[in-house]
């Protein structure tokens, strides 16, 4: 069974701590930070930041920062949020930390830095990282840039542009490596529940609407927690960014990958689950796999419009294609083509990866 967890609504409001800080203290502000697609505004309220701070991903980052050898180094924190990672870098011995944040929560970060006695060592800069100016290049770039299924929100684009502008030759990135994974799943309980619901809606048979509901579900992925027992094969790595310090931006703006998997069980294939893993520092991975401890990213479920019967040990073959959406490159157009070795026509499903609340 899958465990459905509603996404926390992001409140596009200016945090109250913005009133606690003199805005003139922002030494280097980029212009036009308010003119955006709504992305930065979605991170202006503290609710979404509280969810992320409570997530185990924060503990993983703090552990990695402590072991990253930052003593005496300069650090750029891209998208610093409330400032927790920037402060951790300072406490790990960094000589200077530039904490860049485009949303209004930058004022909260500045207040937290001041309360921590780190003003001067940690400089919070309100602005887009593509537009801000720093007085020097840095040794390390730290960022929690990952979105659902790794690439959603396309914050990696900003991080790599910052890398090209501000990272010293031989400098390091945290995280240093990133992978995307895809696996088929089954969910008989959810399928039966939906069928039963439309068959008796307050005493009315609405079964004629069930195909419409399935078609809608099959167009837009869901962000949910999926139990590991619902995954019916080993996963396939569909993207491996081996070195974030040297990869090309263009390699992260589209992808096309094939997969060839063997089903562990006889079941109906109801869709594919997408998740990711990042290597923060050598040997320390943060995984969002179904068999790992849950995170605020959850999993992305790409539902099939119709289930596909699969036999045990049967091959599930296909292709995943992802491109940034034309109208909003923070969202992604996803195409999954798939079939089984036992025969039948190849199916193609198209999705819009846009999980904004």
Using H for helix, E for strand and C for coil, what is the string for 239-274? Answer: EEECCCCCCCHHHHCEEEEEEEEEECCCEEEEEEEE
Positions marked active-site = 144, 153
Q: Which residues contact 291 (CB under 8 A, 6 or more apart)?
A: 228, 231
Per-residue pLDDT of the chain (357 residues; tens, 9 = 90+): 333 333 333 333 444 444 333 333 333 333 333 344 565 555 556 666 677 777 899 999 999 999 999 999 999 999 999 999 999 999 999 999 999 999 889 999 999 999 999 999 999 999 999 999 999 999 999 999 999 999 988 899 999 999 999 999 999 999 999 999 999 999 988 889 989 999 999 999 999 999 999 888 888 899 999 999 999 999 999 999 999 999 999 888 899 999 999 999 999 999 999 999 999 999 999 999 999 999 999 999 999 999 999 999 999 999 999 999 888 888 999 999 999 987 778 999 999 988 653
Burial class (CB in 10 A: 0-12, 13-18, 19+), 328: middle
Distances (CA, A) of 134 to 40, 75, 80, 138, 166: 21, 11, 15, 9, 8
Distances (CA, A) of 321 to 154, 236, 333: 16, 14, 8
């Amino acid at each position: 069974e899958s465990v459905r967890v509603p996404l926390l609504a992001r409140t596009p409001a200016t945090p109250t701590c913005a009133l606690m800080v003199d805005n003139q203290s922002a030494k280097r502000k980029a212009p036009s930070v308010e003119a955006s697609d709504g992305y930065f505004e979605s991170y202006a309220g503290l609710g979404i930041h509280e969810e992320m701070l409570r997530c185990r991903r924060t503990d993983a980052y703090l552990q990695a920062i402590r072991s990253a050898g930052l003593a005496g180094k300069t650090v750029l924190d891209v998208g610093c949020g409330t400032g927790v990672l920037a402060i951790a870098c300072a406490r790990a011995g960094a000589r200077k930390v530039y904490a860049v944040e485009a949303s209004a929560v930058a004022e909260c970060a500045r207040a937290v830095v001041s309360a921590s006695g780190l003003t001067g060592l940690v400089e919070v800069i309100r602005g887009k990282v593509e537009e801000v100016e720093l007085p020097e290049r840095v040794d390390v770039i730290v960022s929690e840039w990952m979105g659902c299924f790794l690439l959603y929100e396309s914050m990696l684009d900003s991080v790599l542009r910052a890398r090209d502008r501000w990272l010293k030759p031989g400098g390091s990135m945290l995280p240093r490596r990133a992978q995307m994974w895809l696996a088929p799943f089954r969910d008989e309980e959810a399928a039966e529940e939906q069928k039963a619901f439309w068959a008796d809606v307050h005493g009315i048979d609405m079964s004629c609407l069930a195909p419409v509901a399935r078609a809608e579900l099959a167009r837009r992925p869901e962000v949910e927690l999926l139990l590991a027992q619902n995954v019916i094969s080993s996963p396939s790595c569909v993207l491996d960014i081996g070195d974030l310090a040297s990869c090309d931006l263009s390699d992260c703006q589209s992808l096309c990958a094939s997969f060839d998997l063997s089903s562990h069980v006889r079941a109906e294939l109801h869709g594919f689950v997408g998740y990711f893993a990042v290597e923060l520092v050598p040997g320390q991975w943060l995984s969002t796999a179904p068999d790992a401890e849950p995170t605020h990213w959850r999993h992305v479920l790409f539902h099939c419009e119709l289930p596909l019967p699969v036999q045990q040990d049967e091959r599930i073959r296909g292709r995943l294609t992802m491109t940034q959406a034309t109208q909003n490159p923070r969202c992604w157009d996803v195409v999954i083509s798939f079939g089984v070795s036992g025969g039948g026509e190849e199916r193609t499903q198209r999705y819009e990866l846009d999980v904004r609340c």
